[in-house]
Amino acid sequence: MKVESLSADGNINHAKVAFIADATNQLLKRSMLATDDILFSIAGTIGRVARVRESDLPANTNQAVAIVRPDPALIDSRYLFYCLRDGSRIDRARSRVVQSVQANLSLAELSSVEVPLPALVAQRNIAATLGILDDKVQSNRRAAKGLDKLSASIFTEWRQRHKSITSTTFGEFSDVFGGATPKTSVEEYWNGDIEWATPTDITALNAPYLFGTARRITVDGLKSGSAVLHPPGTILMTSRATIGSFAVNQVPSATNQGFIAVAPRRPEHRWFLFEEMRSRVPEMLDHANGSTFMELSRGNFKKLALDVPDTSALSELDSVLSPLHIKAAQMESENTRLVALLDLLLPALLSGRVHVPGVERA
């Protein structure tokens, strides 16, 4: 396991896990993982937390990830997991970080982080309460991701059934935009109400629906350059360094220069364009160039050929894909509210300000 293997949502991202031979795993016995271990990142990105399940094993971890092994006689594993996910404790841990080449938190400093220790039955009740929300979030994420994959599969089958009647280009069939970054030295351009996407906002998504961004700009910041405020339903594709990560914005959003934004001229063309673009990322990479990093220019993208089936075929596709994406986006939107509620309840339950029914009696 590496730091990158620990997802921000408290799970292990198996797509980011590196693999070693079983013989090597046996040699590294001190860092072999066990069920209910808690992983805590202590180098680079400090404070990523994940709980090891039986399905994650056998596994090992590198020196950037600490193993916290709870004593089951004293503390419930899932309760400890939530304690270490508590933002205030992570902030206190980060305050002890030593900066060298990269941020580092020593095992001694991590060991000194205090957690409340009620009776085991109370710990389990608190963990179960938080787990209800957490499980719903994970269920929604799996379902949204499944619907997105189903959409891509349906598009592939649809493409094979319908012949194209029009040969055009992406630039002729849709409106194509770039992005821009307001001057970071001008405070009046930042911390406003306008969502401003960077590629990191897109690559961090569970499913391709953008509801918010890490940074926001002001109206003056938007007007200061060539950035465009895109209405909901615009297809955002990363076009620099990481080429071919996608999202459809659910709120008005601007982007930096690492994007190509595609606005369909007719709403029923949205998911056709979205799936067509996703299916042609390898071709787009062939048209990218650059010395410092690879980039697909807006001009090259606009010239890419686009074969379009007839209107009835496009309508058929939209009638199938649109409900799938709407449902998946609704699940991701619900998760935004559930995660906010979880973040609110977590410190309240752990501090005792909010009580789980039955805990006082226990």
Name residue 270's amino acid. Answer: R
CB–CB of 245/285 below 8 Å? no
| pLDDT of 270 higher than 90 | yes
Strand partners, 202: none
Query: Lowest-confidence range among 94-98, 209-213, 321-325?
Result: 94-98
60-103 per-position pLDDT tens digit = 888 899 999 999 999 999 999 999 988 776 676 666 666 655 67
Which residues are CB-contacts of 252 (< 8 A; sequence separation ≥ 6)?
A: 194, 195, 229, 230, 231, 232
pLDDT at 24: 82
Starting from the edge strand earliest in sequence, which strands make up the sheet with 215-217, in order?
215-217, 190-197, 253-255
| Category of 241 on φ-ψ map: left (φ > 0), alpha (ψ -120 to 50) or beta | left
Q: Which of 25-34, 47-56, 323-332 has the highest mean pLDDT?
A: 323-332
Q: Which CATH architecture has domain 118-161+309-362?
A: Orthogonal Bundle (1.10)
CATH topology for 3-114 is Adenine-n6-DNA-methyltransferase TaqI; Chain A, domain 2 (3.90.220)
Separation of alpha carbons 36 and 25, rounded Å = 19
pLDDT at 163: 87
DSSP state of 231: P
Residue-wise over 157-166: b if at least 16 C-beta within 10 A, else e?
A: ebbeebeeee
**Mean pLDDT rounded to a whole number for the chain:** 90
Burial of 181 (0-12, 13-18, 19+ CB in 10 A): buried
pLDDT at 359: 45
45-55 per-position pLDDT tens digit = 888 899 998 88
| pLDDT of 171 higher than 60 | yes
CATH 3.90.220.20: which residues of the chain?
Answer: 3-114, 166-308
Q: When comparing pLDDT for 86 and 149, which is higher?
A: 149
Query: Lowest-confidence range among 79-83, 197-201, 348-352?
Result: 348-352
pTM greater than 0.95: no
Separation of alpha carbons 320 and 316, rounded Å = 7
DSSP state of 191: E
pLDDT at 113: 85
- DSSP β-ladder status, 103-104 and 98-99: antiparallel
| pLDDT of 236 higher than 50 | yes
Which residues are CB-contacts of 86 (< 8 A; sequence separation ≥ 6)?
A: 346, 347, 350
pLDDT at 338: 93
- Please tell me the CATH code under which domain 166-308 is placed: 3.90.220.20
CATH 1.10.287: which residues of the chain?
Answer: 118-161+309-362
User: CB count, 10 Å around CB of 126?
Assistant: 26
Query: Lowest-confidence range among 163-167, 273-277, 319-323, 329-333?
Result: 163-167
Structure confidence at residue 13 as a pLDDT band (50, 70, 90): confident
CA dihedral 344, 202, 81, 103 (to 10 degrees): -110
Length of the chain: 362
- Residue ranges of alpha helices (H) inside 55-206 are 77-85, 87-94, 107-111, 120-161, 170-173, 199-203
